[in-house]
Amino acid sequence: MQLIVVSNREPYIHKKAGSTISVEQPAGGLTSALDNVLRTVQGTWIAWGSGSADREAVDARGCVRVPPPSPSYTLRRVWLGQSETDNYYAGYSNRVLWPLSHVTLDRVYYTKRYWESYRKVNRKFADAVIGELHEDSLVWIHDFHLCLVPLFIKETAPSATVGHFWHIPWPDWGTFRILPQARDIIEGLLANDLLGFQIPLFAKNFMNCAQEALSAVIDPERGSVVYNDHTTVLKAFPISVDFDSFQTMAASKKEYSIRHLKKQLGIAGGYIGIGVDRLEYTKALLKRLQAIDLFFDKYRSFIGRFTFVQIAVPTRLSEPYISYKRSVEDMIARINMKHAQGSWKPIVYITTKVEHHDLALYYRIADVAIISSVYDGMNLVAKEYIASQVDEKGVIILSEFAGASEELSGALPLNPYDIETFAENIKRALLMPAEEKRSRMRALREHVRSNNLSKWTDDFLQALESCRERPRRERDGAFLFFDYDGTLTPLVDDPRSAALSKSTRDLLAGLRSVYPVAIVSGRTLFDVMNMVDLRDILYAGNHGAELWDGQRVIIGSDGPVDPQAIRAFLQEITPAMAGIPGVMIEDKGVTISVHYRNVDGRRRQDVVERFRHLADAYRNTLSLVEGNMVLEARPRTVWNKGDAVAWILRTFGAGRLPLYVGDDATDEDAFRVVDQAGGISIGIGMKTGAPCYLESQAGIEDLLSWLGQTGNP
Ligand code: ADQ
């Protein structure tokens, strides 16, 4: 197996300082997690070469072996111009997708050039991946910067196995739909074979978005989405940290290192709190500071006895981060001025990057860690703190809106918007009895120990491997849909006499034990169920407006159905057709049908025109459907055959290959849904619309017996 990791941020940055070149590892959850993976499995990491000396460090293909000094994998750099950095990275990624996904909507700022650049850069990344692909490659893409890369890869290399991990939250459709390119982004991600999220809620939100934006066929139980004949598996993989490494780093610190660090921080005694973050508004540093301020206001006895150490490394050095940084600094200065006593100050503020081996000591000495994110994919700091708590004396206060809170039930939960309870929680954490602290921390440590970083990578890669093993067009089998009149029975003058032949019924009964079967008809539900007279199949009547799901009748509609309009239409259409012999008006409850098969050929057009004329007056509430010698008036909100098929597939058959047989213009909606789900549409006596067709209805029994014999059409 050759692993190709693809991310925006590179794991090693070459920087120029005068005439020397140094190599740095950027702060941030993603890179620290994945560097470990590639060190173990080797392979290639494709990322933006953002360092001032990056070009000097690479070979002609843009590659450099890392990590220094003992390299174990290849870093291939993708080059971006200044305008791409501004528009793709600072623009579409950081000012559109990031705030949108974190539901900080007033920070979303969008312009067209951001999107154009985003597409262009995603194409560059995809080209770099294609240049590295081998037959046994597994491609693992990361995060929101690269949503279109899977699609671009698959356009050139459809058999590549591609997975994507989404590190940040995925919001619900009500939020995501504000994005002008919501469909494109979701479509790009659905080209993945595997799409991983931090917690099940984000996978569920994405699934709903796929359904709403693209009418993709979803299977919530199995966690898959079928779109354009391609299945994407969705799954939660909660990311973690290297527990052993943090534990070892923390445990290795001797008493004198601890004393030395406290002295350096100016902490003479008392409790210590810690916050470690990129200087990022979603981490809610301001709310945290407000709570600390209130804590000292309310609980004066902690003045001089609690010091909060905030390590905040500046990030994304543009707006709104510059202003946010300034606000944080101002607030810290104000709080320190307000509460300082003698040489003690409440907040120690560190703005440099602290290497993990030093960070482990900060975590170890802290009596409380505060994670206050307003929304966060996971939050690795929470887990790093737990792994470093070798003395089991610390308490973690953790925002309910960080993905980590799903797993870390021993933490004190926090709503960062509730500043008063936040302040109380700090007191509660500090004064918690030692035994309670220990038992909570022990359980948390056990959890992180057994759900560590290597489990995360193993789980993801294993799931991705099994996508490769899945045959490309593997389905669970077919789902058969049949129209009734003109499909299962020949068209006759009087619909009441269109009985199903015994041989056709027997064939259908046989198919029922091999595939799920649904009959989708323009007749009323009651009527078609009576005519077919078979149990254990699903029915949709009234062109999709009524459904039988095996247990109950469902009215299929996208909104309220006003019965008044259809009644009024019936009152008017009856006298309008009165003078035309052969017209049959059928009151189907939710809808009205006017059959004119038995009308003299010269007067048929007259029927159609009278109907259209009247229907026009009702165009705001009713829609007109023209079928084979039948006209139908339906409330606008009720489902058509396509909607019914989509619902049946969603509810009973995600992952199955739909096959639909129909003969009528009203079947076209169903053909469209079936085609979109990668299924097979078969028209009877009609060569347009449906890509396959039967010459005439007489061939239906041959088709049914063939379906019975073949395992999977
Ligand atoms: P982030 O929001 O960057 O990433 P987060 O989970 O908060 O990640 O972790 C931050 C990482 O940066 C930690 O490893 C921490 O030690 C390190 N770090 C922060 N400040 C530092 C400093 N001053 N010096 C050194 N290191 C520092 C995204 C999502 C998260 C998700 C991660 C991983 O937003 O929700 O947990 O990816 O998937």
The CATH number for 577's domain is: 3.30.70.1020
d(CA 212, CA 380): 32
Q: CA–CA separation, 425 vs 431, rounded Å?
A: 10
Number of domains composing the chain: 3
Report whether residue 168 contacts ligand 1, using a CB cutoff of 6 Å.
yes
Tell me if residue 350 falls in helix, strand or coil. strand
Residue 277 alpha carbon to ligand 1 centre in Å? 6
Do residues 369 and 438 both lie within one domain? yes
Could you tell me if the CB of 379 is within 6 A of ligand 1? yes
Q: Which atom of ligand 1 is nearest to the CA of 313?
A: 23
Residues 264 and 372 in one domain: yes
Q: Are residues 443 and 420 in the same domain?
A: yes
Report the alpha-carbon distance of residue 129 to residue 190 in Å, rounded.
Answer: 18
Q: Distance between CA 401 and CA 19 in Å, rounded?
A: 46
- The rounded distance, in Å, linking the Cα atoms of 392 and 696 is 78
In tens, the pLDDT along 463-510 reads 999 888 655 444 568 899 999 999 999 998 888 899 999 999 999 999
Rounded to whole angstroms, the Cα distance separating 501 from 662 reads: 17
- Can you read off the two tokens belonging to residue 461? 């890669």
Do 381 and 504 lie in a common domain?
no
Distance between CA atoms of 396 and 426, rounded to whole angstroms? 10
> Quick check: is 100 in a domain?
no
Closest Cα to atom 8 of ligand 1: 29
Report whether residue 314 contacts ligand 1, using a CB cutoff of 6 Å: no
Based on the fold, state whether residues 296 and 394 are members of the same structural domain: yes
Give the residue numbers spanning the domain of 568: 563-635
pLDDT at 58: 95
The verdict on 429 and 311 lying in the same domain is yes
Q: What are phi and psi of 468, to 5 degrees?
A: -65, -40
The response to whether residue 382 sits with its C-beta less than 6 Å from ligand 1 reads: no
- For ligand 1, whether the C-beta of 369 sits within 6 Å is no
The answer to whether the Cα torsion of 134, 123, 218, 669 is positive or negative is negative
Return the pLDDT at 469. Answer: 64
**One-character DSSP codes across 81-132:** -HHHIIIIIIIIIIIIIHHHHTT-GGG----HHHHHHHHHHHHHHHHHHHHH
Residue 103 domain-assigned (yes or no): no
Task: Say if 119 falls within a structural domain.
Answer: no
| Tokens matching residue 542 | 């009234």
Residue 624 shares a structural domain with residue 690: no
Residue with CA closest to ligand 1 atom 35 = 377
> Which of 635, 655, 673 is the C-terminal boundary of a domain?
635
In a domain? residue 580: yes
Which atom number of ligand 1 is nearest to the Cα of residue 376?
35
Residues 438 and 346 in one domain: yes
Q: What is the mean pLDDT of each run of 10 residues along the chain (713 residues)?
A: 93 92 76 80 93 94 92 96 96 97 96 98 96 92 98 92 97 97 98 97 97 92 87 96 94 90 92 96 97 98 97 86 94 97 96 91 97 97 97 98 97 97 98 98 97 91 85 66 96 89 94 90 94 93 91 84 87 92 91 92 93 90 86 90 91 84 91 84 75 86 87 57
Cα–chain-centroid distance for residue 21? 41
Separation of alpha carbons 432 and 600, rounded Å: 90
The answer on 282 and 252 residing in a single domain is yes
398 lines ligand 1 (CB under 6 A): no
- Could you tell me if the CB of 29 is within 6 A of ligand 1? yes
State the pLDDT at residue 529: 96
Nearest atom (ligand 1) to Cα of 402:
35
Q: In angstroms, how far is CA 701 from the centroid of its own chain?
A: 43
Question: What is the pLDDT at residue 474?
Answer: 47
Residue 381 Cα, ligand 1 centroid: separation in angstroms?
6
Report the CATH number that the domain containing residue 489 is assigned in CATH. Answer: 3.40.50.1000
Q: What is the pLDDT of residue 297?
A: 98
In sequence order, the 6+-apart residues with CB closer than 8 A to the CB of 305 are 269, 270, 271
Q: Are 607 and 580 within 8 A, CB to CB?
A: yes
Question: What does the DSSP 8-state code read for residue 343?
Answer: T
**183 is a domain residue:** no
Q: Whole-structure pTM over 0.75, yes or no?
A: no
Question: Does the CB atom of residue 278 touch ligand 1 within 6 A?
Answer: yes
The average confidence (pLDDT) of the chain is 92
| Res 473: pLDDT | 44
Are the beta carbons of 702 and 712 closer than 8 angstroms? Answer: no
Measure 276 CA to ligand 1 centroid, in angstroms.
8
Q: How many CB atoms lie within 10 A of CB 691?
A: 12
In which region does residue 532 sit, left (phi positive, over 0), alpha (psi from -120 to 50) or beta (all else)? alpha
Q: Are residues 512 and 624 in the same domain?
A: no
Atom of ligand 1 nearest to the CA of 350: 23
Question: Is 614 in the same domain as 666?
Answer: no
Last residue of a domain, one of 635, 653, 671: 635
- Evaluate: CB of 26 within 6 angstroms of ligand 1: no
Q: Are residues 307 and 340 in the same domain?
A: yes
**Burial class of residue 130 (count of CB atoms within 10 Å of its CB; 0-12, 13-18, 19+):** middle
Q: Domain ends where: 635, 650, 678? A: 635
Q: Which atom belonging to ligand 1 lies closest to the Cα atom of 404? A: 36
Q: Evaluate whether residue 347 is within a structural domain.
A: yes
| Token couple for 697 | 């209805």
Atom of ligand 1 nearest to the CA of 380: 6
Packing angle, helices 285-298 and 419-431, rounded to 10:
70
* List of residues 6+ apart from 209 with CB closer than 8 A: 170, 172, 173, 176, 177, 182, 186
**In angstroms, rounded to a whole number, what is the distance separating the alpha carbons of residues 157 and 458?**
25
